A and B are shown apart, each in its own frame.
Chain A
Amino acid sequence: MADEKTPAGDNPYTQTHVVQSGDTLSKIAQKYYGDASLYKQIFEANRDVLKDPNKIFPGQKLKIP
């Protein structure tokens, strides 16, 4: 396998989540990982579209590493 990791945004096989009304990063982390505390990883993977982990909007497409 290549040593260089493909940025999540460039990897077509990274799962994505379209933010729904009422979603929070914690809820999204709970859904995909079973652990709300892993929301930070989702935030880090989406720094190109998220400035604040508490501010997400319906319709945003987030990468779920």
Chain B
Amino acid sequence: MKKQIVWLLAAMMAVLLVGCASQKEPAEQAIASAESAVNATREMAQKYVPDQLAGIDASIASAKDAFAKGDYKAVLNAAPALTAAISGMRDAATAKAAEAEAAMGKAKDAWGPMSTDVPKMVEAIQSRVDMLSKSHHLPPHVSKDALASAKSGLDSVKSMWNDASSAATSGDYTTAVTKGQATKDKATEIMHSLGMTS
């Protein structure tokens, strides 16, 4: 009887060992597949869905940990959810990339007219400031302070416009348009203060 129990235990151990060994390769493959899938979209994911990427990296690290401890079953159990998460992340990143590209296209369209308008506004303001600076007396609607403020405002506008233009040159039209609009608003304010808008 004792002999039979020993044989049974030995047989069970053998089955267990074979079972574990047979799960090792699939678990290793599951981790490799997950890493490969993540690395294929890592750059885009880092840019558009960094939180999701961080979560998935943590899950892969956890799977590697389990693998190192020999818990191949845990790795295989986690694999389907990990695969789904990676697929979801890839889709989310792709959608956000498409959104960003559309927004950039819109901004590029808006930049066109702005890039000719603002320099003309600045020229008109500069011309008026130059004229008023030659004047022996200022007109009633323009005080000394208003003229001084317009001069320093004009310097700010030129600097703001340089920043906007640099952004456009580097292809960042979204930033260019935001800065360009701020420049235009400031220039409009100056024109108004000098009585140029009638």
Contact = CB atoms under 8 A, between A and B. Distances in A.
B131 to A, nearest CB: 5
Interface in B100-156: 117, 119-125, 127-128, 131-132, 134-140, 142
B138 A15 contact: no
Contacts of B121: 13
A57 interface: no
A35 interface: yes
Nearest to A8: B127
Main SS at interface, chain A? loop
B142 A15 contact: no
A37 B139 CA distance: 13
Interface of B: 117, 119-125, 127-128, 131-132, 134-140, 142, 158, 161, 191, 195-198
9 contacts: A1-B119, A8-B127, A12-B120, A13-B120, A13-B125, A14-B124, A32-B195, A33-B131, A34-B138
